[in-house]
Amino acid sequence: GFKCGIVGLPNVGKSTLFNALTRTAAAQAANYPFCTIEPNTGEVAVPDPRLKKLAAAGKSKEIIPTRISFVDIAGLVRGASKGEGLGNQFLANIREVDAVVHVLRCFEDDDITHVEGRIDPVADAETVETELMLADLDSLERRIVQFRKRAGVKDKEALTILPVMEQALALLHDGKPARILLSKLPPDELEILHSLNLLTSHPVLYVCNVSEADAAKGNSHTAAVETMAAAQGAGTIIISAAIEAEVAQLPDEEAQEFLADLGLEEPGLDRLIRAGYDLLQLITYFTVGPKETRAWTIHRGTKAPQAAGVIHTDFEKGFIRAQTIAYDDFVGLGGEVPAKEAGKARDEGKDYVVQDGDVLLFKFNV
Ligand code: GDP
């Protein structure tokens, strides 16, 4: 499954947000409860209103949402890359994630100490980013020595990996994160970049943590973060961890009312997940049967056999074809049989690029 790491300086609201998100998710998905894998990892169900409609049309007994996990990565402070606070566990945790959710303090509260003594989320973001870049620079400089030697004697593996390493290193030397390469490299080189396990090669979503009063419209701090994020091609959302913590305690209806009073339409979790989906370019396809209606997460652009592989590797290996019905047809016509009768079920082969909302039924050899 997909994994987001939550980073940020101490006291910006990471834990408050993490706890609220995982509790809200637990309340929303009664039959797929949030489970604690490790103390700092929470798996949340991706809220998707389409599931209910599909399950009704398909007469499914159960709904199984797709999941994303969040890891609360504590321990980042100024000087971390020089060994202050940034332990091995921190490095291991952040290297494993697919995306980084970077929480920035955009609320004023004299009672809550800011580690740098002032509220300046753009400067905070730079502090964190600098530590991550220094750590990457250090590890790449160490590893690249061997690769240059091996490439010098025409070692095939080194010759393919080295150019990507050199590009990442050049960026880091220039004070820029390796994630700039994400939009520049062809797919095979992207895979190499991922295999380098750099801290700054993940896409970033900035979460501006604001006070309740600023939750609907933001403030001057969030505006500054938005400008910075736009320049980096990163995403931004405004969330009040304090509100999310309250929402997490309320029954569904009361939570809706509470949010409406604050000028908000939905819990931060829903917005965060949607932003995460956009950031990672993820889409959802569905399988619908009498037993269950289930959502599956794939990257945009994934072809049918690889999409099948998310369910089971055998589905990918033995892939023959995928019966495909678009979400609107499945729900609008009232299920698989009427959709078929209306000529809305297509048989797609191995080159079919799965679309968001597709209802798929795989035919495969065992
Ligand atoms: P972390 O160190 O980044 O994990 O930060 P915590 O989640 O532990 O929060 C640090 C302190 O800030 C706690 O006392 C929280 O109650 C408080 N806090 C978190 N979010 C908000 C917020 O949106 N508004 C205010 N006023 N306080 C907050």
The structural domains of the chain, ordered by start, are: 2-279 (3.40.50.300), 301-364 (3.10.20.30)
Question: Does residue 87 register a pLDDT over 70?
Answer: no
Q: Is 44 among the annotated ligand-binding positions?
A: no
Q: Would you call 10 exposed, middle or buried from its count of C-beta atoms within 10 A (0-12, 13-18, 19+)?
A: middle
Cα 274 to ligand 1 centroid, rounded to whole Å = 23
Cα 12 to ligand 1 centroid, rounded to whole Å = 6
Both ends of the chain: CA-CA distance in Å?
24
Question: Does residue 273 register a pLDDT over 90?
Answer: no
> Distance (Å, rounded) from C-alpha 236 to C-alpha 205?
6
Mutational pocket test of ligand 1: of 12, 16, 71, the residue with most ligand atoms within 8 Å of the beta carbon: 16
**8 Å CB contact between 286 and 327:** yes
| Index of the ligand 1 atom closest to the CA of residue 240 | 23
19-40 average pLDDT score: 56
| Index of the ligand 1 atom closest to the CA of residue 72 | 4
- Span of 72-76, 116-120, 178-182, 307-311 with lowest mean pLDDT: 72-76
Query: Which phi and psi (to 5°) does residue 63 adopt?
Result: -115, 130
Q: What is the pLDDT of residue 24?
A: 62
Cα 278 to ligand 1 centroid, rounded to whole Å = 27
Q: Is 88 among the annotated ligand-binding positions?
A: no
Task: For residue 200, give both structure tokens.
Answer: 């700054």
> CA dihedral in degrees (245, 246, 248, 250; nearest 10)?
170
Q: Is 331 among the annotated ligand-binding positions?
A: no
Query: Which phi and psi (to 5°) does residue 154 adopt?
Result: 60, 30
Question: Does residue 306 register a pLDDT over 60?
Answer: yes
Does the interface ipTM go beyond 0.85? yes
- Span of 40-49, 212-221, 229-238 with lowest mean pLDDT: 40-49
Instruction: Please give the residue that has the higher pLDDT: either 34 or 160.
Output: 160
Q: How distant, in Å, are the alpha carbons of 289, 293, 321 from that of 337? A: 12, 16, 18
Q: Model confidence over 3-27: pLDDT tens digits?
A: 888 989 888 998 888 888 877 655 5
Element containing residue 99 per DSSP (H, E): strand 99-105
Instruction: Please give the residue that has the higher pLDDT: either 161 or 18.
Output: 161
Cα 107 to ligand 1 centroid, rounded to whole Å = 9
Q: What is the pLDDT of residue 113?
A: 81
Query: Which phi and psi (to 5°) does residue 244 adopt?
Result: -60, -35
